[in-house]
Chain A
Amino acid sequence: MSNPTNLKYTASHEWVKTEADGTVTIGITQHAQELLGDMVFVEAPAAGRHLKAREECAVVESVKAAADVYAPVSGTVTEVNGDLDSSPENINSDPYGAWMFKMKPDNSADIDALLDAAGYQAVVDSEAH
């Protein structure tokens, strides 16, 4: 599965989608879910919490390991995907559909500084040595 070109990415394997209302939706990438394997637990940040860019704000746990999820930009959490509480495996089956949380960025220009699909692929390729 290739990385959708309409999304932005971080080197720490989050994807970021800009919505029409200016909020951003955040999830973890296909590559990240593949590395972690079967998801069994997701802990998202509380709605209303203010996050700083690159702050640890959520956790995904697979059978194998726990991984931190980082805020891609600074902003305030507006909504959390409660479906993942009962169905964390949705991240495995549909990583770009199973979003984790939405944020209102402090500065929407911060989004532009994130990686595009090709830039993110380069990160993935370099990790594979």
Chain B
Amino acid sequence: MSIGSEHGLPGHLVEFVTALRRHGVSVGPGETVDAARVLGALDLIHREHVREGLAAALLRRSGQRQVFDTLFELYFPAALGAGSAEVEVPRVDDAADGPVDVDALRDILADLLRDGDTAALAELARAVVDALGRSGAAGTGVRGAGGQPSWSAYQALRVLSPETLLARILDELRAGGAEEDAFSDEVRRREIRDRIAAFRKMITDEVRRRTAEQRGRDQVARTAVPKQAEQVEFLSAHAEQLAQLRRTVHPLARRLASRLAVRRRHARRGTLDMRRTLRRSMSTGGVPMRPAYRKRRPGRPELVVLCDVSGSVAGFSHFTLLLVQALREQFSKVRVFAFVERADEVTHLFDPGAELSGVMQRVLREADLVAFDGHSDYGGSFGTFAEHWGDAVTSKTSLLVLGDARTNYRDPNLTVLGRLVGRARHAHWLNPEPRRQWGTGDSAALRYAGVLPMHECRTAAQLADVVEGLLPV
């Protein structure tokens, strides 16, 4: 392995640690020293040992692993250049550097996906990226030959389009005598789908590695490394990231609940109940021997959630609703209202034990939310809510509004919201937009912020902090 650092292996390690820090993994000098001791204790020939050893010394949280793995691939690559590829990529007319024969290649890929041979798939990914980057595919006219080879995950995945192989592989398996019933079929389908996703990731990783060789590691490390799940912004997250995020809801809720329990315990200490202490002192001749403390009865407020479920903020609303649902023990009653142009009650979809993974689709399908063109109308929604369910908000209610406050230049209806806020015990607005964008364009965020406190919740981490602060002690 060639190490392009002037201080040898320790210098290389420090560069790696610096890259980790840049991606929000806080690594102290102590950990770096530990990592160096790890490298000293291990046999560096085994790359996987080095990877796990460094992870043990440098990471402190499971969510950091993805960032770590991506950077590890860049800083401790498994191979340089094309590596020693053992898979031959088929070429048109079998010419050595001719364009890639896509159909033959897809046949190979289908076989490997069917058998689930991970090692061979990784080899193929490496060979494919190399061949497509250098010679291009047949019939596409993309040729890197002559000039610089160009690595592109987009191109490779478009040419191969592994998703379209799914039906074919399933047919082959069925023809091969696999079980016929719907259940086995479904299990197989999901298995193949996971393998395809894994293969896509292999291609992306390989392209990142080759690009890093060409354009310099630091530049790629800066731009092409995925974020930790809890630091992904709700508004720019794609479906897969959101799904990953939703898996963290229950651990997060448990963490919030146990932190809350600690806060309650601490809050209970100390406040003396004079009346009961004096009453008790009667039995010891007026000397207060055993002080009595005031018992706190944690108020369990009713929660009314008003959430925007239009396309732009649906991911954020879904996550927050799941979190509220997971925390429902902290409230005596939770009512959920969804709105786009008008509001409708959807509490029944969030009953305990209800199936929540596809709940947003059900909300959009079953509730009466659209009146006109399907763009969010905050003013109109607050209006319908106050008109039909205004009595849901009482002096025991905590009101929570979720949305980006982008009104599409319609009337924000501050009076109605003001009236609701005035009646509720607490009211808060959670906004997934960055604070600096509030009030720009059609955002009425700043005007709403004058009516009730508005909190910025761009990421799951931020949301957790805000929710923890709002929960009743």
Same complex for A and B? Answer no
